Amino acid sequence: MYKMNHRQKPCFWNERNQVKKYNVVILGASGAVGIEFRKILLQRKFPVDKVRFLGLSSVGRVFDFGGRSVEVEAVTDGCFRGFDIGLFSAGGEVSRRVARRAVEEGCLVIDNSSAWRMDPDVPLVVPEVNADAATRHKGIIANPNCSTIQMVVALKPIHDAVRIKRIVVSTYQAVSGTGLKAIEECMSQARDIVGGGEISQKKVYPHQIAFNALPQIDVFMENGYTKEEMKMVNETRKIMNDDSIRITSTTVRVPVIYGHSESVNIETEKKITPDEVRALLRGAPGVAVVDDPAKSEYPLAIHAAGRDEVFVGRIREDESIPNGINMWIVSDNIRKGAALNAIQIAEHMAVRSLL
């Protein structure tokens, strides 16, 4: 059901059979996404020469990087000088404070926070969807929200074929999207409940998350939607370069460790059948179709965890409208939803000699 993805990794060899190497700095190196940055750079054999780890609370800790011992340093003046790429995942406040300085010191910033996503001068990029937007950067490229990334990877081929008019999405998002402390809190609460004791930890979320579902991700806004829900609306339109798409979203936190799941309903301008959708998606970059309900085969978070693909299944016609399709989309939120997408942006820039 979940076959390994043997798609070829980017080739960094030039016509003279040489590989250009890049100096890479990771800001937020000890966090959930920072850990994944380190793993994926090595797994995909990104041509790293010098590497620097930066952090806030983790300064002084030492991590292995492909046999090198690298100590986490504090952010200081000049710490980005001589580095080609900065992979940032330290939160919006830090990014707003530091990113411009990094650019001034000659470093291309690929930022995983929400700080720059809706800035009109900053491209918001998902390589399978709008890679060319990255070339219009002015020093910063924004990584979209995790739930947005997986949705647009699955929907872009359909939009290109029959134009999507409306999207209704409900998400079921893993606790890892909130960070390592949220994972620890969920696991701790689960142990307490199974052991018959009182819950000893409730700091990250406003309510118990273990064996529960919280219909709140981020803060509520004046319109009654959460910030996360409005991110999906606004970011999708920007990435798809189509402000006419009508989008409504409900985002829910569930006690899953890795892997966001989404129930997505689309209304299209032209009729498309479920079989035609499956055929489109089987040929789409970054997508894997798992859709055989008769055998109970459909995307599951436990199978998507640790994988690069966006998995799509439960593809069926919405019988309540003339041109409607329902689908179920699942992906690892820390990999494709964060670290992998950022590194794919770096790869896109590197193989085209844009760094």
- Catalytic amino acids? 146, 260
Using CA of residue 45, residue 41, residue 120, residue 247, what is the dihedral sign? positive
260 and 337 Cβ atoms separated by less than 8 Å: yes
End-to-end distance of the chain based on CA atoms, in angstroms?
38
Closest Cα partner for 30 from 209, 243, 187, 180?
A: 180
Separation between Cα atoms, residue 270 and residue 163, nearest integer Å: 7
Please give the order of strands across the beta sheet that includes 164-173. 246-253, 164-173, 260-268, 324-331, 310-317, 287-289
Separation between Cα atoms, residue 208 and residue 191, nearest integer Å: 13
Closest Cα partner for 145 from 276, 239, 245?
A: 239
Residue owning tokens 């892997």: 259
Helices of type H across the chain: 32-43, 92-104, 127-130, 146-162, 180-194, 227-240, 274-282, 301-304, 340-351
**Amino acid, single-letter form, for residue 42:** L
